[in-house]
Amino acid sequence: MFAAGRVRVCERETDPQLEIAALMKQADGGPALLFSNVKGHAMPVIGNLLSCKENCEAAFGLDYRGIRDLVSRALGNPIAPSIVTNAPVHQHVERANIDIRRSLPVLLHTEEDSGCFITAGIVVAKDLETGIYNASYHRLQLIASDRTAIKLDYGRHLRAAFERAQRLGKALPIAVCIGTDLAMHYAAATMGALMPESADEIAVAGGLRNEPIAVTHGITQDLIYPAETEIVLEGLVSPVDTVREGPFGEFVGYLSPEGDAPVFQITAFAHRAAPVYHAINGVGLETVMLRKYVMEASLLKALQGATPVVADVEMTAGGLYRFHAVLGIRKTSSQQEGFQRNAILAAFATLKDLDLVIAVDDDIDIRDPNDVEYALAMRMEASRDLFIVPDARTHEYVRVSNNGVRAKVGIDATVPFEERARFARAKFKFAPINANEWSSNAPPSLKWLE
């Protein structure tokens, strides 16, 4: 990413208490920011790492279609990890007198937050009943030198694994990986129908790399995690202890509410030599951009398997790459009429957080909001083409919902196959003009335009 000019380095002293998060928000959607001189800490901080398309493409060396195709192939081609013994993450290990508040430049993001939060940690856990590994993002609020609260949203796989451990009366071993393999970042961001609880996210990350992820055994816990990790926190999530957690500025743009959260007791702290701390701004673009490619890949794979008419999909920026989608529909006969509506319903079933799905014909550029709005203006008749699915599950942070239950909207902005000619737009034959054939000088007859 440095070679591609997608990292900017801030060399002046910056404060992890409010200042770094504010600078990240100010530069949101641009190059990654490396803060090399962090007040009170020797460890640098990197933020906005994958906050925009250009950063993601530079990190992968692929365009957006290449990244999405890679994710799609990985979902169907998991590769089991390989165990290594000399893991870079174990170059420095602490088992006692752990104080992550002293050791890590954990950010205070906003004045309204209830404390400092680790936000880029990928939590790796092995289900105590099934033995399947889960990797997912969860925020952790510092509550003591060696303890954090861990936010476990309902409906998430880690929450289910935790509740199974609770029923057994056991603590759940986890490892929080901060600054790990890029493939793990994307595997951890995957959700929906194509990432069931039976899927092993470490193996999916191997599919992304097209080779096994190098993993190492835990120091104090019986589990494995990526060896190429900057920082790891090992420990146990208590089956009984809770603490008040939040509020915290979340990806939906406002503060999530305060609530009870399980306690994570840290039993080992390890890092590689000269580690870099990765921070994600809760209300920043990285939070949602991380999921764009994996959610599009999951959605496209599911819809093309369910219907014959879906050509492409776009999770939109205005919908935080999570709540709104546009489907590009290619009908080849009148017998395929109606499949576009099946696809809309299948989209809601594939990604539970989708609340608005628009289907448009394949002559509409689904990545151009103006072109999609044109389809709504010219090809959608509301009394016929807009339909509502009442009382469906969405994300609990959607405040207009009733504790995560709301109506979902489908819009069919496609035209009947037999009427495509009637809705065809005027076409122009473009002849390229050389730059030296243009001039800004007005001819004498048009001097009045000057």
pLDDT 10s digits, 223-232: 999 999 999 9
Highest CATH level, class, for 79-274: mainly beta
Q: Which residue has the tokens 């494995």?
A: 224
* Helix, coil or strand: residue 48: coil
Q: pTM of the prediction?
A: 0.83
| Maximum C-alpha span of the chain | 90
Residues of the chain with pLDDT under 50: 193
Q: Are 30 and 288 in contact (CB under 8 A)?
A: no
pLDDT of residue 430: 79
Portions of the chain given CATH number 3.40.1670.10: 307-419
Where does the chain hold its CATH 2.30.110.10 domain(s)? 79-274
Which pair of tokens denotes residue 447?
A: 């001097």
Q: What is the DSSP string of 75-92?
A: HT-----EE-SS-GGGSE
The pLDDT of residue 47 is: 93
List the one residue out of 119, 108, 113, 101 whose CA is nearest residue 48. 119
What does the pLDDT read at residue 5? Answer: 86
Integer Cα distance of 376 and 309 in angstroms: 19
Sequence-distant (6+) residues with CB within 8 A of 171 are 165, 236, 237, 238, 239, 265
Homologous superfamily, domain 307-419: UbiD C-terminal domain-like (3.40.1670.10)
